Amino acid sequence: MSKKIVAFVGSPHTYGNISTAINQILEGAKNNKSECITYNIDKLNIGYCRGCFVCNKTGGICVIKDDMQGIIEQLKEADIVIIGSPIYICQVSAQVKTLMDRLYVLTDEKHNPLYGSKKLIMLYTYGAPIPYIFNKYIKYNGNALKYMGLKLYKNIAIYGCYERDKVKRNRTLLKKLNSLGVKISK
């Protein structure tokens, strides 16, 4: 059966490292008949969560009417979710944090997922040319969305990404990302 993949680019750079890495995974997935949708968070109208808990009490209705409504409709049916974030000041970008907060609509009052379990791939890029330095944070953050039904399948961290074409120039990495896309489509 074909898989539905919803991916989020959390970098402001449309053609940067996050975008290249996500596109590469999706290429592999599309070639294996997955249905893929990519959202460039920075280019969308997504407001901050207001912390009103209305979504919690109403089974997932958010008071903010913006681009999240369409996104949530897609997420309800997704099998796999990919969230790509550049590391900004040792954490996810503000775009990704805003998205994560707004995903609160996917859980109920008892913190059970409203729309079942989906595989989550968290993909990070960062500038420092040192592997593993954000591993503690990345591990911690990977579990943050489990109550929304986004169950961590894989964390990917790509270091040394100060130049925007770093991922594009790394053929071995591109191949690995493509293979991951193939794998998750099965």
Q: Quick one: which segment of 15-23, 68-76, 107-115, 149-157 binds ligand FMN (CB under 6 A)?
A: 15-23
Q: Quick one: which segment of 8-16, 36-44, 149-157, 174-182 binds ligand FMN (CB under 6 A)?
A: 8-16
Strand, coil or helix: 184? helix
Joined together, the tokens standing for residue 65 give 């009417």
> In terms of Cα–Cα distance, which of 47, 43, 149, 42 is closest to 102?
47
Query: Judged by CB under 6 A, how many residues of this single chain contact ligand FMN?
Result: 17
CA dist 9 and 4 (Å) reads: 17
17 near ligand FMN, rule: CB under 6 A: yes
Least distance CB 42 / ligand FMN (angstroms): 10
Q: What are phi and psi of 52, to 5 degrees?
A: -85, -15
Q: How far is CA 3 from CA 52, 87, 99, 111, 184, in A?
A: 34, 28, 22, 26, 8
By rule CB under 6 A, what string of x and - marks binding of each residue 39-78 to ligand FMN? ----------------------------------------
In this chain, which of 52, 61, 63, 128 binds ligand FMN, going by CB under 6 A? 128
132 near ligand FMN, rule: CB under 6 A: no
Identify which of residues 70 and 129 has a Cβ nearer to ligand FMN in the complex.
129
- Strand boundaries in the chain, DSSP class E: 4-9, 35-40, 80-86, 118-125, 150-158
In this chain, which of 125, 141, 170, 185 binds ligand FMN, going by CB under 6 A? 125
Residue 1 CA neighbour count, 13 Å, CB half: 5
126 near ligand FMN, rule: CB under 6 A: yes
Q: List residues binding ligand FMN (CB under 6 A).
A: 11, 13, 16-18, 86-90, 125-128, 161-162, 164
